[in-house]
Amino acid sequence: MPEPAEPMSTPTTEKTVGDARSAAGRRAGFLIRFLVPRYDEVSLFMMSLAFLGLLVIDGELRAALRRQMDVAWWDPRIYLVAIPFAAGMLFALFNALFARRKSDFEKTAMLFFAVTVSAFAGIAAGIHLLAESRGWMLALPIWNIADGVLLLLLDRLCYLDNRNIADEDATPGQVGFGALVVLALLAVCCGICRAHWAITLSICVAYATNINWVVMKLSSKAKPAVRGPARGGVASAAEAGNARQAPRAVKIRVLRAPAVPPADFDPGEHLSGLECYETDDAIGENDRDALAQFVHALAFLALEAKSRKWADSKIPKGTPAYTALESHFGHLDGWIDLAWDPRGLSCVQLAGLLARHYPPHRPGEQPPHGQPL
């Protein structure tokens, strides 16, 4: 009996599948960007100051931590949490007070601190309120617990990395205002309302991550660079573009063309294998256009060869090529919809994004950049 023939793949069906995946990616990216936090120096400073302040003035918090240490002081896992937590808290305070470039190690420690203190505050406050709430009031502790668990889940699924720590330096005025707000919240919650330490910490974290960026934006005369809400704020393309031109951008050293593409040519694999380097030079529009045209050329070669790997081709996160693409195009409207996938950038979606902002053109032509078609 003859075997059934495999369905024929045509350019039309490939385009339909690609469009469907792109639409699904945009919907998922729209949801993820409202869930994934982004921490700037002021929010990290406020969370650090709030935790230290409570540690000093609240005996119940000190007693709870002391009991935990007494029970598990012999367990090395507790030090795997306590040491990075303390390091991240100190780095957050230091970087807010002194303008300097943050290393990857510092960002990792600060992210660990931010995720741990945010999740810890939400879950602890939720458990405390759960015993005292009835009826519809149960929604508040359940929300706090769910928020803390969700943050830990996003971290576990690798949606959080060093890119969630903003590179921009806070101004002395922003740091000073943040310190005053934290001191005021501690005075009201602990001194007047006699609130439990978990509720006080949860309020301070909520202000630092969800409200402070609005206050900073409204009170600052100058436009902040890529300063957005901790739960998925999106800065304007112009502001993000300026931040992307910060020192130590990543560029691809040589845009090397592949050999004659076989049927299994993978543009993402080819891009990931190119040599990259860091530079203090700002990335200009000519640099962006050159890299965009190279991506278009790889996409054309894959389509021309009818590559079987084109539809699923990705540039993995953490590779130099991914960092270079982010340095060049991370400010574009639509980038965040591509970057939600922890596996990496989809080459199909990347080519579509660049076609809107840096459309293909012949060598020597200079079309207007940065303006979607």
> How far, in Å, CA of 250 to CA of 44, rounded?
26
Please give the C-alpha separations between residue 7 and each of 73, 303, 310, in angstroms, as whole numbers. 63, 19, 18
Does the predicted TM-score (pTM) go above 0.75? Answer: no
Contact 81, 57 (CB under 8 A): no
> How far, in Å, CA of 358 to CA of 329, rounded?
10
**Predicted local distance difference test score (pLDDT) of residue 180:** 95
> How far, in Å, CA of 118 to CA of 193, rounded?
22
| Residue range 85-107, pLDDT digits in tens | 999 999 999 999 998 888 889 99
| Residue range 112-132, pLDDT digits in tens | 999 999 999 999 999 988 888
> How far, in Å, CA of 207 to CA of 294, rounded?
44
DSSP lists the bridge partners of residue 231 as 37
Residue 1 has pLDDT above 60, yes or no: no
> How far, in Å, CA of 47 to CA of 44, rounded?
5
Per-chain mean pLDDT for the chain? 77
> How far, in Å, CA of 269 to CA of 250, rounded?
18
Choose the weakest-confidence range: 132-146, 166-180, 233-247, 322-336. Answer: 233-247
| Residue range 292-350, pLDDT digits in tens | 888 888 888 888 888 888 888 888 887 888 888 888 888 887 787 776 666 788 888 89
Residue 367 has pLDDT above 70, yes or no: no
Residue with the bigger pLDDT between 318 and 182: it is 182
Q: What is the band of 33 on the pLDDT scale with cuts at 50, 70, 90?
A: low
Smallest CA-to-CA distance from 332 within 266, 256, 237 is with 237
**Predicted local distance difference test score (pLDDT) of residue 227:** 35
> How far, in Å, CA of 168 to CA of 95, rounded?
10
DSSP lists the bridge partners of residue 165 as 39
